[in-house]
Structure 1
Amino acid sequence: MIVLLRNIVFAIVFYGLSVPIVLTAPVSALFGRRAVMRHATAWTLFHRWAVRHLLGIRVRVEGERPAGPAFYAAKHQAMWETLELQAMLDAPAMVLKRELADIPAWGWAARRYGAIVVDRDAAAAALRGMMRDAEAAKAEGRSILIFPEGTRVQPGETPPLKPGFAGLYRLLDMPTVAVATDIGRLWPRKGLKRPGTATLRFAPAIPPGLPRRQAEAAIHAGMNALEEQDGRGDAPL
């Protein structure tokens, strides 16, 4: 009953207040990229507060990140890491599916934020557009974040990386960091979110310029470093 109550309160508070926050993002976007970046960060910090205090989910961060901008490739098990990493990585340019970028008004705000739009069925011209967006983000001194498995996966699933990762890795010429998480244990696709401790682990950065297979193998292993670990203790209710 306590877990159910936590979920109900979280849904009312977080999603209830998120509606006006998201709907007003285009207004912030009118004032430029920095304004919409601050708007997005405020939302993600609110999400962090709600997850910690309403759901009772704590976060253990392991590993170290590069001092400057980097290319981050993260595991995707829940909505949680898409928002948490936005705040933790200081508003990185995020690779976004075209379906999201095509949402009226919100999609425009996402592009103003600096989202890098990817179309899985794109022609060569559209792919070149994605590469231009990525280069522009790098020129602004921003980190870039991708979820290279292409979709949300269940704990234990380790699908191969989508081809877009290799193209961006080669183009960006940046230190590249794999990010693993086990949030899916506590935040299932269906069912109740449970209190406990989630881990976010940053693998050591790999340098630019590695052969494609070597780079993909290193990042895939780093992203899935927590997939076979069990027995992490839950936090008290």
Structure 2
Amino acid sequence: MKLLQWVRSILYIVQVTVAMPVLGLAFAPWAMFSKRGAYRACKTYAAWAMWSARWLIGLRCEVRGTVPDGEVLVAAKHQSFLDILMIFHALPRAKFIMKREVLWTPVIGQYAKRMGMIAVNRGKRGQAITKMMADVNAGRVEPGQLVIYSQGTRVAPGLSAPYKVGTAVLYDQMGQVCVPVATNAGHFWPRRGLYRKPGLAVVEFLEPIEPGLDKRSFMARLEEEVESRSNALLHEAGWRPTVTA
């Protein structure tokens, strides 16, 4: 049975990889002249990736909680490429803060530029935060939902990584509500490897954190809520920590 799942996983990866340039080219004429076209292309790809995962590898995707539709800061747990797709598809007008290297990726990079995503140099934390705020304040980020991965990278289930101060800086200076997001996507779609597990992948929008907290209190609350809920979702999915001798 596991061998069959391996075959299905590889077939899924092949078709979803091919679908990206195919849809990218199909939507290119519209996307060149309209950001709406670029968004539609990427939302179509995300929808296809999730829909085909259901029938090909038995992986269902579910969004829980209240999805924000106004101008908010979204601080999300990042375990997998799948949680990017789910969050982007759920939000009306997502603007991701991402590492600069993504802009060099074929198709993804071109569409990210067209939609006005914010690219930062992760290796220079101070400069990255300064650039994020400059882009926000200069209006280069259009109204919508500004999405930041607070740990700065994908973190596999069972591993830990510190929460970066950039989220607190944005929360403080933007003066907007922050919506935390938890997920268990990494249990089914790992950071590395080809095997995809069947089951129910969840992205959950948690209770908003209103503006006005000091940075230390905000970061403590954000981390506690995101980590505890993500762990609960992982256990719901059947994940258990690896026991080492």
> Do Structure 1 and Structure 2 share a fold, with TM-score over 0.5?
yes
**Pairwise mapping of residues 103-142 of structure 1 onto structure 2 (< 5 A)?**
103=105, 107-122=109-124, 127-135=129-137, 136=139, 140-142=142-144
Residue aligning to 1:77? 79
Where structure 1 has 5 or more consecutive residues not aligned to the other structure, the ranges are: none
**Pairwise mapping of residues 164-183 of structure 1 onto structure 2 (< 5 A)?**
164-183=166-185
TM-score for the superposition, normalised by structure 1: 0.86
Could you say what secondary structure the match of 2:217 adopts? Answer: helix
**Pairwise mapping of residues 1-237 of structure 1 onto structure 2 (< 5 A)?**
1-22=3-24, 27-66=29-68, 68-103=70-105, 107-122=109-124, 127-135=129-137, 136=139, 140-188=142-190, 189-224=192-227, 225-227=229-231, 230-232=235-237
C-alpha distance in 2 between matches for 1:193 and 1:123: 33
Could you say what secondary structure the match of 2:33 adopts? Answer: coil
Code of the residue aligned with 1:220 in structure 2: it is E
* Superimposed CA distance per residue, residues 78-108 of structure 1 (whole angstroms, 9 cap, x where no aligned partner): 1101111111012300101011124477534
C-alpha distance in 2 between matches for 1:158 and 1:123: 19
Taking only the aligned residue pairs, the percentage that are identical comes to 30
Over 3 Å counting, the alpha-carbon distance change for 1:48 and 1:218 in structure 2 is same
TM-score for the superposition, normalised by structure 2: 0.83
How far 1:22 sits from its partner (Å)?
3.8
C-alpha contact (below 8 Å) 2:184/2:230 kept by paired residues = yes
C-alpha distance in 2 between matches for 1:25 and 1:158: 39
How far 1:121 sits from its partner (Å)?
3.6
* Superimposed CA distance per residue, residues 3-36 of structure 1 (whole angstroms, 9 cap, x where no aligned partner): 1232132123211222333456665442132221
Where structure 2 has 5 or more consecutive residues not aligned to the other structure, the ranges are: 240-245
Code of the residue aligned with 2:230 in structure 1: it is L
C-alpha distance in 2 between matches for 1:183 and 1:148: 16
* Superimposed CA distance per residue, residues 34-77 of structure 1 (whole angstroms, 9 cap, x where no aligned partner): 22112111111111212222221123433223452321111111
C-alpha distance in 2 between matches for 1:101 and 1:22: 15
Could you say what secondary structure the match of 1:13 adopts? Answer: helix
C-alpha distance in 1 between matches for 2:128 and 2:160: 28
C-alpha distance in 2 between matches for 1:205 and 1:107: 30
C-alpha distance in 2 between matches for 1:214 and 1:50: 41
C-alpha distance in 1 between matches for 2:134 and 2:148: 15
Over 3 Å counting, the alpha-carbon distance change for 1:161 and 1:24 in structure 2 is farther
Over 3 Å counting, the alpha-carbon distance change for 1:109 and 1:65 in structure 2 is closer
Between stretches 209-218 and 96-105, larger displacement belongs to 96-105
Could you say what secondary structure the match of 1:149 adopts? Answer: coil
Could you say what secondary structure the match of 2:230 adopts? Answer: coil
Could you say what secondary structure the match of 1:59 adopts? Answer: strand
C-alpha distance in 2 between matches for 1:151 and 1:166: 16
Between stretches 151-160 and 25-34, larger displacement belongs to 25-34
Could you say what secondary structure the match of 2:85 adopts? Answer: helix
Number of equivalences:
233
Between stretches 115-124 and 189-198, larger displacement belongs to 115-124
